[in-house]
Chains A and B, each alone.
Chain A
Amino acid sequence: MTTFLLRRTAQALFTVWVVATLVFALLHVAGDPAQILAPPDMNQIQVAELREALGLDEPIWVQYGVFLGNLLQGDLGISYYNGRPALELVLERLPATFELVLSALAIALVVGVPLGILAALSAGSRLDRALRFISVIGISAPTFWIGIMLILVFSVEWGLLPSSGRGGPINLVLPAVTLSLFSLAFFLRIVRSSFLEVLTQDFVRTARAKGLPRGVVNVKHALRNALIPFVTIAGLQFGQLLTSSVVTETIFAWPGMNRLVLQAMYRLDYPIILAFAIVVAVTFATINLVVDVVYGFVDPRVRHA
């Protein structure tokens, strides 16, 4: 287990370095941040001074060397636009994004998985068709439209829930529900299809033939096996939500890191974009590691391999 973890950590660090280098290279062909930062009343000499102050006048390999050197010391540079350490800016907004994403994931799991099981057990019935129809809407309706509709109904018309900002748990309701809909519908469909697939397999038929009660067979034999691939899917969905919550954050004025990074992209604020890329790469690597470890617990075949 220890060697496994060490090997995985080394792989993760390598991944982070590759991601950082790729993003660095891409950014430096995107344009000149000094030109974008400078207000129109600045003359070219002043823009050049600004470029120099930001260290953008050096050749690209020198800039890359400085960047790597700082990265090894855990320093990701100062945001051009905000004038503060970029990592600090990203990390102070990370909790808000995690809070939103984890809440959305929880809603999607708690609602989506049981509905998927329900749809599978009642396959072909009217209930099943209704659930599948709802999931199609959840997958295809655009987030910004759902968000605005929920605000119009629950905040403006009924005055029940706050429309924006991050305060108490009540502020989390609308954004988390909005963000969860896609994953919820996705989980419903995945659980339904993988459960149906397992129900037709030999070992389930054998268990039934042995005369075990239907409930025991469904839960103990079929469901456990149906949920194995689901661990990977839930992990991947977490990563997906982490980076796709930008629309939700913008609509509900949720102070998450995606909103910050979207702005940073408009402004070519390299340090923030790099800090974000590294934070996300580390998060993904961690999720993958967690998924692999969890697999060992739920699937004996992995553990004994």
Chain B
Amino acid sequence: MFRRFAGLLVAATLTLGLVHAQDELVIAFQGGAATLDPMMRNETTTISWQRHIFDNVTAFDRDGNVVPGIATSWENVDPTTWHFEIRQGVTFHDGTPMTAEDVAFSIDRAATHPMSEMRGGLSTYEAATALDVDTVEVTTTAPDPLMPANLDYVRVVPQALIEEVGEEAFAENPVGTGPYVFQDWLAEDYLELDANPDYWGGTPAYEDVRLTAIPNGATRVAALLSGEVDMAVTVLPQDVPRVEASSDAYVSQEPGLRVIYLALDDVREDTPGMSEPNPFLDVRVRQAVFHAIDMDTIADRIMSGASTPASQFLAPFNEGYVEDLERPAYDPERARDLLAEAGYEDGFTVRLDAPNDRYLNDALIAQAVGGQLGEVGIDVEVNAVPRAVFFPEHFNNGNSTMAISGWASNNTGATLNGIFHCWDEEAGLGRFNPFWYCNEEIDAMIADAITIFDAEERAAAFGAIIEKSQTEDVAYVPLHYQNQVVAVAEGLAFQARGDGYVFATDVTPAD
């Protein structure tokens, strides 16, 4: 009886066609685009979706280098003036030619519109003008060597159309110059796209693309394994083994931008997470913490391999990442010796604060780190609380001695100013520096490095700061990079990017 019923069901579904049309490429994300107005939301999935329709002025490639977009080249005329050469012969999806005026308008809108979330990355912007058909001049309020990289925040929109129909209507029927043409969408749910046959970067491999949101991680992987979608973006650590065990799909991963780190209070004698004087003031104790943590085991047991032990506070994608800087070895013996040298043979007790709903497996990581520190004599009380408590109650106001948090930025200058610089409310520096880590030498090096115009020289200067801070001060103990994990159906070739963007143009049929 039951087998007959199952047979009937199979017949029924075959006629209904459960598996999507063969030629359509379906990519499932955790969320969906909040809006299709490309200046409004600075959020990875929203920008991923938008960049199918719109072109960037400049962009980062998968290795973190700045590469041409609508701007083909640029030069620094004087410290506060840049000239960008504009790609010629580009048309918007409605057939109107794209001009240098459109580019200048788009930059200005992203940098000055009160609802623009791109303003943070364009804070040195002063003005953008089209000098002639193929040149846009951008001036800055102060010398900003990163202006070309910052135009990665800007997607080119048609000035005339926006002025004609209004911003709200434009966001519902967006027109860009990108590889795909907008068809239909539902906010934060799906986006239907058709290939742009006239795309300046070549016609995309897939004619018909659907981007869709499947919020639940287990469902996202199930939809891939049952053939309903071709790719599942952001595979959670617990779902990685299921994909790896399947013959229908494989996992592509890349160390992401987000570094999960341990911050130690090396400033205050009297510190909130302890009853005794703060032992972390002694650099040997901070080094001991580094040697006591075994990130390989955490990557293996807790993250199912979906993380990469961090060698430094910067991700491999970041400008200034130091290739030959190595993570201090896991060496509990060495950690115990260092603690003894510092006068803590019997260890001490400290509270470790961490969020339990903000980063992948954050509470589990906190418990594992606590256990490993216990092995060398540092008795840790793990206090893992919801983010709504952790950030305002412990992290943002320094009510902690040791805390786990995360940081992701593709702008090393911003990382150094926010995390490594001494706290200076007036200048807005050190805003994300939880326990007011402060080293005047480091500050001088940062101030100098962010004004270097030569890219190679600047990267070296950034790297020197990271290396000096880590080896001499150990105010931060980087734990790991969260990997960007994408599960892909067999028969498709795709490689995950460190910055987390996923583009249909990066997918090709596997040979």
Complex Cα spacing A148 to B214, Å: 13
List A contacts of B131 (CB < 8 A). Answer: none
- Of B13, B115, B119, B186, the residue contacting A83 (CB under 8 A) is B115
A243 at interface, CB cutoff 8 A:
no
List A contacts of B226 (CB < 8 A). Answer: 155-156, 159, 162-163
B409 touches A41 (CB 8 A): yes
B13 touches A160 (CB 8 A): yes
List B contacts of A49 (CB < 8 A). Answer: 114, 119
CB interface residues, A 246-300, toward B, < 8 Å: 250-253, 255, 259-260, 263
B123 touches A43 (CB 8 A): yes
CB interface residues, A 90-104, toward B, < 8 Å: 92-93
Complex Cα spacing A84 to B213, Å: 19
A39 touches B222 (CB 8 A): no
Q: Check A170/B13 contact, CB under 8 A, given A81-B34, A83-B171, A158-B6.
A: yes
- Give the interface segment out of B35-43, B89-97, B133-141: B35-43
B223 touches A39 (CB 8 A): no
Complex Cα spacing A58 to B26, Å: 45
A117 at interface, CB cutoff 8 A:
no
List B contacts of A163 (CB < 8 A). Answer: 219, 222-223, 226, 228
B219 touches A46 (CB 8 A): no
B487 at interface, CB cutoff 8 A:
no
A168 at interface, CB cutoff 8 A:
yes
List A contacts of B41 (CB < 8 A). Answer: 81
List B contacts of A83 (CB < 8 A). Answer: 34-35, 37, 40, 115, 167-168, 171
A40 at interface, CB cutoff 8 A:
yes
A164 touches B223 (CB 8 A): yes
A40 touches B432 (CB 8 A): yes
B508 at interface, CB cutoff 8 A:
no
B228 touches A40 (CB 8 A): no
Q: Check A255/B189 contact, CB under 8 A, given A40-B418, A163-B219, A163-B228.
A: yes
Interface size class of A (residues with CB under 8 A): 35 or more
- Of B114, B213, B411, B428, the residue contacting A43 (CB under 8 A) is B428
CB interface residues, B 349-377, toward A, < 8 Å: none
A214 to chain B, nearest CB (A): 31
List A contacts of B123 (CB < 8 A). Answer: 43, 46
Nearest B residue to A151 via CB reads: B222
List B contacts of A3 (CB < 8 A). Answer: none
CB interface residues, A 146-162, toward B, < 8 Å: 147-148, 151-152, 155-156, 158-162
A23 at interface, CB cutoff 8 A:
no
Complex Cα spacing A159 to B19, Å: 9
Nearest A residue to B388 via CB reads: A31
Complex Cα spacing A144 to B31, Å: 18
Q: Check A161/B18 contact, CB under 8 A, given A38-B120, A81-B41, A148-B219.
A: yes
B219 touches A159 (CB 8 A): no
B216 at interface, CB cutoff 8 A:
yes
B140 to chain A, nearest CB (A): 15
List B contacts of A50 (CB < 8 A). Answer: 114-115
CB interface residues, B 1-59, toward A, < 8 Å: 6, 9-10, 13, 16, 18-19, 28, 31, 34-35, 37, 40-43
List A contacts of B6 (CB < 8 A). Answer: 158
Complex Cα spacing A168 to B123, Å: 48
Q: Which 5 A-B pairs have the closest CB atoms?
A: A41-B120, A42-B120, A53-B114, A253-B214, A155-B226
Binding site for B on A (CB under 8 A): 37-44, 46, 49-50, 52-53, 81-84, 89, 92-93, 144, 147-148, 151-152, 155-156, 158-165, 168, 170, 250-253, 255, 259-260, 263
Binding site for A on B (CB under 8 A): 6, 9-10, 13, 16, 18-19, 28, 31, 34-35, 37, 40-43, 114-115, 117, 119-121, 123, 167-168, 171-172, 186-190, 212-216, 218-220, 222-223, 225-228, 409, 411, 414, 418, 428, 432
